[in-house]
Structure 1
Amino acid sequence: MCDFTLELVRSKIEATIKNIGDMIGWEDDHEVIGPVTYAAKQSLLCLLPYIVPRLKNLEEEEVIYQLVLDHGDWGIHNITITPAGDITSVFDWDVGSITLALLSDPLMAILVDLVTDGNGAPTII
């Protein structure tokens, strides 16, 4: 799973930051990749083995590098809720994907995985 994760993150970096002079971001912004951004891309690619480490065993890798269904645009504008606060539907899945939990919507991760310990400090379940 670590090899898959490395390749996925590498391909996301390559797809986002291409070559000097290429467009980056939204077309209407008319932004292009300059030398500083391109150098940052190269640094990120060199750091990948440290950002996505190999773990001691396959069980640990399966926990850390698990795949999840990510909505991609999670928000009140894409759900219906009952007056009691129950979510009855989630819609607008046009940017949804199966991705690594590490790369998924952080708001979803906070609601699912993060809690506070006895001292009120954040911790992960």
Structure 2
Amino acid sequence: MTTYYTKDHEYVRVEGDTGIVGITDYAQSQLGDVVFVELPEVGKAVKAGGEAAVVESVKAASDVYAPVSGEVVAVNDGLPDSPATINEDPEGQGWFMKIRLADKGELAGLMDEAAYKAMIGA
């Protein structure tokens, strides 16, 4: 299982041909208390860099972009009722969706953990 990161602070944790997508701990800390999340429909086709979900906090609303292209095969049904999970465990229980990867080659354009940490100054 390998995790990749985008410059927009999404992650995709790849297992086989499926990627588990969410926002990073850094992103949730910048947003503040998450109060609402809008997830895509299962079966929706998403494009890398395209809007895939929406997250709202007490500070702002932000689009969540798909790090990879593919089909949404699952969503985290518990998030709309418990959006604070995104603050509590963004890279664990606070995942947003699972995407069946259309092109694994897209992963080459994403950052590994070391590059992401360097970008955010961690």
Q: Please give the TM-score of this superposition, normalised by the length of structure 2.
A: 0.23
Higher strand share: 2
Indicate the structure whose relative CO is greater, using CA pairs within 8 Å and at least 6 residues apart.
2
Q: Greater Rg, structure 1 or structure 2?
A: 1
Q: Name the structure where helix makes up a greater proportion of residues.
A: 1
